[in-house]
Structure 1
Amino acid sequence: MTPSRPDEPSDAAARRSRPAVVVYPVETLPSPDMARLLDARRTLALVDAVVVPPRDAACFEVPRGHFCRIVSVGGPQVGDLNLWNSADLSEGFFSGKTRALHGTHVGVGDRLWSGLPFLRPLATITHDTLGWYGFDEDGGGVHDVIGTRCDPYTNRLLHGGDYHHCCHSNLARALGARLGRPARDVEHHLHDVLNVFMCTGFTRDTHRYFMKASPVRPGDFLEFFAEIDLLGALSACPGGDCGSSHSSDAAACHPLRVEIFRPDPAALAGLERPEPSAYPRTHGERPPSDVASP
């Protein structure tokens, strides 16, 4: 039985007409030194590359001060990206706060922020060959921080049965292999992703999350600068270009290539490393030393 919709109050129009207010004004947000980063891009030398097979994932490291490119190499393909502080996996990418600060889809100049209590930029996006796309007539854009990643738990909930090549499982296997542990023992480190190359938005009538065929083509890439030493994991989504389905073997899938570049150190000499948030984590509680003894 569908619940009935309540009657509108007499002042419904007035309530709806109130002005929208941006939640996080970003005028005081620390800005990356894009001029220096773009200048450093002219000196890049390839130092490592990793191929991510279709319906699988791979881990890679990006040292602080290096640049990383995620490249389309075989055909239209979406990738799900996780990033962590390589020295401390409890500090990982915070897609929700990144979305709140920069919007539902990210591009050049936007930063990928870490979770609480750290809240600092892990990476800064420095180049995007799909930057021309913008938002289409459906409201779709590329590189979203909306979706969570396809996973076998939701797949079983909605469709029954077990599918082991969802992005969550791919990422868990890759991270487990890197750490020498079973996937089930490391999956708690996985977090909501940056959906690289994925074209997504919200439907205008029901505001449900949608996907459509990605505009990515071989040779396209998304590039970011590592603000700290990073461990990354990238899944080549089983949905391929995510134009019709995911979490199955039905879609045509292609590999992705991760490329790591070192710039001339002189180009970034003196560039400061972002530090974790200085908030003291008291949360309004009095320190134990301030509590009087009985």
Structure 2
Amino acid sequence: MTEPQDAEARRKIPPVICYPVDTLPRPNLAAYQAVREGWQKVDEVIVPPREARCFSVPAGSFFRIVSIEGPQVGDLNLWAAEDLNERFFSGKTRALHGTHLSTGDQLWSCLPYLRPMATITHDTLDWYGFDEFGGSVHDVIGTRCDPYTHKLLSGHEYHHCCHSNLTRALADRVGRSRESVEPAVHDVLNVFMCTGFTRDTGQYFMKASPVRPGDYLEFFAEIDLLGALSACPGGDCSSEHSSDVAVCHPLLVEIYKPKTRPEGWAPAPRSSYSRKHGD
């Protein structure tokens, strides 16, 4: 198709940020950091390779996702502990904080709740930034590897995709059937995963994660949380996911209880919007 005469002028129109965050309430990171002193580790969960496990975090506590044996990507789901309908909203989190998350960013819950569920308080990979390909770490642009897309593209069934892993883990935790809890499994924070979009075709890409044993991503729970983490069957996602041949490693989730609450902190309230939606 022939370009219009003003095509270049249209391309040069400057962008406008969709959601300016100047008025977004921001967490007091200094207060969060202060209560880490003298905290106590109260629980830990090992997530086996190509599997998922659930864990609970009370509001006001911290949790870490830790690389312990080798480079491994994890897919994280979060729910309000008492209501699976309130779950992590990767799309709105992306709109507010960008495509990849790090220290100070918050994980927001879905509508109609829309409140911070967790705040990232420490990231040992924040040095990575964006590489020459446009890749970065901890994305909220991908979904999660799932058996439906795998069947669509390969014609085969694979049951250890992150979607299936998370479904099994959630069903086991709440004592319900896999079919009944599957709709609660949602788009993830891709912990440690290095991703971006190709500049020529705009396709979602992945590359070898820079994570190494000892690296971690740490969160402060803004509300009572139920979490689920899948150790992705793609391992470090350097070549493929949904794979039985990729080298995979376990992940560790650690729960820490501080001695006191951060100064001025209270659990995040749900959105105060009236839900009238007009006349």
What TM-score, normalized by structure 2, do the two folds share? Answer: 0.99
- What letter corresponds to residue 273 of structure 1 in structure 2? P
Q: Larger radius of gyration, structure 1 or 2?
A: 1
Q: Residues of 2 paired with 1:206 and 1:172: CA distance?
A: 32
Q: Residues of 2 paired with 1:213 and 1:29: CA distance?
A: 34
Deviation digits for residues 156-212 of structure 1, max 9, x if unmatched?
A: 000011000000000000000001122122110011000000000000111100000
**Superposition RMSD in Å:** 0.8
Maintained 8 Å contact 2:34/2:262:
no
For residue 37 of structure 1, give the secondary structure of its aligned residue in structure 2: helix
Describe the shift of the 1:270–1:26 C-alpha distance in structure 2 as closer, same or farther (beyond 3 A): closer
Maintained 8 Å contact 2:60/2:267:
no
How many pairs align?
279
Deviation digits for residues 87-135 of structure 1, max 9, x if unmatched?
A: 1110000000000000000000000000001110000000000011001
Deviation at 1:263, TM superposition (A): 0.5
Q: Point out where structure 1 has 5 or more consecutive residues left out of the alignment.
A: 1-5, 286-294
Deviation digits for residues 10-66 of structure 1, max 9, x if unmatched?
A: 111111110111111101000001110011122221000000000000000000000
1:1-294 alignment runs, 5 A limit: 6-265=1-260, 267-268=261-262, 270-285=264-279
Flag as ranges the 4+ runs of structure 1 deviating above 6 A.
Answer: none
Deviation at 1:254, TM superposition (A): 0.3
Deviation at 1:272, TM superposition (A): 1.7
Deviation digits for residues 65-93 of structure 1, max 9, x if unmatched?
A: 00000000110000000000001110000
Q: Point out where structure 2 has 5 or more consecutive residues left out of the alignment.
A: none
Q: Residues of 1 paired with 2:210 and 2:150: CA distance?
A: 26
Q: Residues of 2 paired with 1:74 and 1:245: CA distance?
A: 20
What TM-score, normalized by structure 1, do the two folds share? Answer: 0.94
The share of aligned pairs that are identical, in percent, is 68
Deviation digits for residues 261-292 of structure 1, max 9, x if unmatched?
A: 00012x4255122111111011102xxxxxxx
Deviation at 1:246, TM superposition (A): 0.4
